A and B are shown apart, each in its own frame.
Chain A
Amino acid sequence: MSLVEVTGLRKSYGPKEVLSGIDLRVEAGEIVGILGPNGSGKTTTVECIGGLRAPDGGTISVDGIDPQANERALRKILGMQLQEARLPAKITAAEAIDLFASFYPDPEPTAVLLERLGVVTQRNERFENLSGGQQQRLSVALALVGRPRVAILDELTTGLDPAARREIWTYLGQLRDAGTTFLLVTHSMEEAQHLCDRVYILAGGRFVRSGSPQELSSAMGTQVMSFLPSSSVDLDLLRSVAGVHAAHADESRIVIDGDDTALQSVLSLLSARGVTISGLSITTPTLEDAYLAATRRVG
């Protein structure tokens, strides 16, 4: 059985159905991301899993716990970072972590979290005086202070500078290696690509794609290569090469769509004909391409 298992989850707000029966699995020690357009139900999904919203239908199990039936047990193993949850204005960063630490039997030391999340110099700053990024880092610290078995992080690096994002990703990677399981909501393709073992793409109330970031981007198929040949090249000849899907001339450049075997074949053919190339450019499909293709189809 997976550590987090969701089957047929449905949720509506009034007449609007946000989730139309989604299935999701997270194995122990995985980092799984949920991607999707604004309003697609990502936060609703994780809040149902985290027991903060009651689903209209379907089943949810977190380490064998039904969040609606046994919230007390769930809170002991689950850490959550919520969007738009602010702390009291006059509490300091260290006091906030100490306070949340007091809710758990074996918390992570406050000094470790301040250090790892890069707020050690703001430890005595009041929440109201922290920058948006510092508040965000503190919010992640509060989700992790109880050494949760599963952590749900909703837009964990929104508003952070690139260096801070990398530091948090490194820390989460280390926690994952130590056994923590993560479910992330993110808008950042870079974050999903860098951090997630698997991602689910949510659109129109359903998961329209799932898999590792590599699988999803590879499934887009073609990579695009373009180059300047030293002499004219027969496009039909190029189109006949194995792995090439299309070829055309763009002014003096040749542009070829093909799979990842096409590049070697084309280069071999040109070399055999004494044609050299310059200005080679190769564009491979990204997770963002896969995401846009999947969500465009639905939206």
Chain B
Amino acid sequence: MGATTALLENEVRLLRRSPAVVIWSVVLPLAALLVMMAIPGARMSLPMLGGLSVLEAYQPTLVVFVATLLALQMMPMFLGSYRESGFLRRLRATPAHPANLLTAIVLMVLAVILAVGLLILFLPLVVGVGDPRPLALAALVLIACAITFLALGTFLASILPNPRVASGVGAAIAAVMWFFAGMWYPRAQFPDWLSNVADWTPGGAAATLLTNAAHGAELGWQPFVCLTAWTVVGLLVSVRTFRWE
């Protein structure tokens, strides 16, 4: 068994032993989705939401919630904790490089984002909400969004000094992403200037892409440019500044 596989298995086991992470990133968003699915009014299309139902309007928001919580808060916290405790350095003294651990954590977070994200996108079909045909495209868009948030997560893990700061700063940035994804105020109600700002944030661009993809609307180039730019910035800074010790 390769070092990355062994470390991935270990990280999954440790994640299962971290109930707070599982509750916040898996249980709560799925519970919110199920509650909305169960309320008939939440399944009716509303003009104030641009013709979407509350459930449909919140699907991309919930996906952004899961992706940002895991990639921007939890992942930098895990890596910061491993760096601070000397575990990354300890791994360096074995045939397994700490890069194996970074890879394992990124793969695990990506897998959880995709699994929960796909459930959020597909489960409403059970109550007749959504169109199954464009959902394959939505799944691809989900992968693109997850990669962007993971790149930003490694960026935060690179520049933040310890797990406590990483958790706080990550949570604050995630909350900003939730706002631009329409968590507290429907994006259809954003004034033009705010909508323009939101379009160039990873949260706003991800929500736009996921909404358009799920409803078979034209995706447009702008959100992809936005996500690509944030991904490149995140990766470049990470590669230059990430410290194993």
**Chain A contact residues, CB within 8 Å of chain B:** 50, 52, 72, 75-76, 78, 80, 82, 84-88, 90-91, 95, 99-100, 102-104, 142, 146
B85 to A86, Cβ gap below 8 A?
Answer: yes
B17 to A90, Cβ gap below 8 A?
Answer: yes
Interface of chain B: mostly helix, strand, loop or mixed: helix
A85 to B95, Cβ gap below 8 A?
Answer: no
**Given known contacts A102-B1, A103-B6, is B90 in contact with A95 (CB within 8 Å)?**
no
Count of B interface residues, CB-CB < 8 Å: 20
CA distance A148 to B85 in the complex (A): 24
CA distance A78 to B93 in the complex (A): 8
B87 to A86, Cβ gap below 8 A?
Answer: yes
Chain A to chain B contacts (Cβ below 8 Å), 11 pairs: A75-B94, A82-B90, A88-B10, A88-B85, A90-B14, A90-B17, A90-B18, A91-B13, A99-B6, A102-B3, A102-B6
B13 to A95, Cβ gap below 8 A?
Answer: yes
Interface of chain A: mostly helix, strand, loop or mixed: loop
- A281 to chain B minimum Cβ distance, whole angstroms, is 47
Residues of A within 8 A of B13 (CB): 91, 95
A75, A76, A88, A104: the one within 8 Å of B93 (CB): A75
- A74 to chain B minimum Cβ distance, whole angstroms, is 9
Within B59-114, the residues touching A (CB, 8 Å) are 82, 85-87, 89-90, 92-96
- B245 to chain A minimum Cβ distance, whole angstroms, is 9
A76, A78, A87: the one within 8 Å of B87 (CB): A87
CA distance A99 to B86 in the complex (A): 16
CA distance A50 to B94 in the complex (A): 10
B6 to A85, Cβ gap below 8 A?
Answer: no
B94 to A84, Cβ gap below 8 A?
Answer: no
Residues of A within 8 A of B90 (CB): 82, 85, 87, 142
Residue of A nearest to B92 (CB): A52
CA distance A103 to B18 in the complex (A): 25
Within B1-45, the residues touching A (CB, 8 Å) are 1, 3, 6-7, 10, 13-14, 17-18
A91 to B94, Cβ gap below 8 A?
Answer: no
**Max count, chain A CB within 10 A of own CB: residue among B86, B93, B96:** B93
CA distance A50 to B10 in the complex (A): 26
CA distance A100 to B86 in the complex (A): 15
Residues of A within 8 A of B17 (CB): 90
A104 to B95, Cβ gap below 8 A?
Answer: yes
B96 to A103, Cβ gap below 8 A?
Answer: yes
A85 to B94, Cβ gap below 8 A?
Answer: no
B89 to A85, Cβ gap below 8 A?
Answer: yes
A52 to B85, Cβ gap below 8 A?
Answer: no
A103 to B87, Cβ gap below 8 A?
Answer: no
B94 to A100, Cβ gap below 8 A?
Answer: yes
B96 to A85, Cβ gap below 8 A?
Answer: no
CA distance A146 to B94 in the complex (A): 9
B14 to A72, Cβ gap below 8 A?
Answer: no
**Max count, chain B CB within 10 A of own CB: residue among A85, A95, A142, A146:** A85
**Given known contacts A86-B87, A90-B18, A99-B10, is B1 in contact with A80 (CB within 8 Å)?**
no
Residue of A nearest to B96 (CB): A103
Residues of A within 8 A of B86 (CB): 82, 84-86
- B2 to chain A minimum Cβ distance, whole angstroms, is 8
CA distance A104 to B96 in the complex (A): 9
- B197 to chain A minimum Cβ distance, whole angstroms, is 39
- B184 to chain A minimum Cβ distance, whole angstroms, is 34
B14 to A88, Cβ gap below 8 A?
Answer: yes
CA distance A224 to B214 in the complex (A): 91
**Given known contacts A91-B10, A95-B10, is B87 in contact with A80 (CB within 8 Å)?**
no
CA distance A155 to B223 in the complex (A): 55
CA distance A50 to B90 in the complex (A): 12
Given contacts A102-B6, A103-B3, 17 further A-B contacts (CB under 8 A): A52-B89, A52-B93, A72-B95, A75-B94, A76-B95, A82-B93, A84-B86, A85-B85, A85-B89, A86-B86, A88-B85, A99-B6, A99-B10, A102-B1, A103-B94, A103-B95, A142-B90
Residues of B within 8 A of A146 (CB): 94-95
Residues of B within 8 A of A100 (CB): 94
CA distance A80 to B7 in the complex (A): 19
Residues of A within 8 A of B87 (CB): 85-88
B85 to A75, Cβ gap below 8 A?
Answer: no
- A72 to chain B minimum Cβ distance, whole angstroms, is 7
CA distance A49 to B9 in the complex (A): 32
- A70 to chain B minimum Cβ distance, whole angstroms, is 13
Residue of B nearest to A76 (CB): B95
B7 to A99, Cβ gap below 8 A?
Answer: yes
CA distance A87 to B17 in the complex (A): 15
Residues of B within 8 A of A90 (CB): 14, 17-18
Residues of A within 8 A of B92 (CB): 52
Residues of A within 8 A of B6 (CB): 99, 102-103
B89 to A82, Cβ gap below 8 A?
Answer: yes
Residues of A within 8 A of B10 (CB): 88, 91, 95, 99
Residues of B within 8 A of A87 (CB): 85, 87, 90
